[in-house]
Amino acid sequence: MSQNSHSPVRATAGPTVLVVEDDPSLRMLCRVNLELENYRVLEAETLSRAEELVRSEQPDVVLLDLHVSGRNGLELLPIIREACPKAGVCLLSGTSEVDPPQQEGVHGFIRKPFELEDLTGTVRRLVAGQPARS
């Protein structure tokens, strides 16, 4: 299927979700499953690309990996807050942290690997403006 065949779906798609993740298979997993839930999904493999998308697309939800290509994903948080202050932000992490980082402007935390229901439920709550800390 060509990308153009998705255009009608995008025109009627729901809220926009930006997935900031350097693992291509995990980005694809998120994209495919969130698109099935009628979200418009953008992907960024680097913080630089994520910054471009945050500023140009103003996503409703950002799924932000804590470690993106050797950088701290939280570096993007001030840019998200400036460009789209109402966006819900959920951190993703595969580290063995017992407690998720407490950071102002962060509304949720998902440990990798995660269940797809956790992903979609968290995004659904963030779109609705509800906290999604797990």
Task: Answer yes or no: are the C-beta atoms of 59 and 33 closer than 8 Å.
Answer: no
Helix or strand or coil: residue 15? coil
Residue 2: the pLDDT is: 37
Residue 10: the pLDDT is: 42
Residue 5: the pLDDT is: 37
Helix or strand or coil: residue 19? strand
Q: Phi then psi for 42, rounded to 5 degrees?
A: -110, 150
User: How, if at all, do strands 61-65 and 88-93 pair?
Assistant: parallel
Distance CA 87, CA 50 (A): 14
pLDDT tens, N- to C-terminus, the chain (134 residues) = 334 334 334 445 689 999 999 999 999 999 999 999 999 999 999 999 999 999 999 999 999 999 999 999 999 999 999 999 999 999 999 875 556 667 888 999 999 999 999 999 999 999 998 866 54
Residue 31: the pLDDT is: 98
Q: Report pTM.
A: 0.86
What domains sit in the chain, N to C, each tagged with a CATH number? Answer: 3-133 (3.40.50.2300)
Q: Phi then psi for 61, rounded to 5 degrees?
A: -140, 140
Distance CA 58, CA 39 (A): 14
Residue 71: the pLDDT is: 95
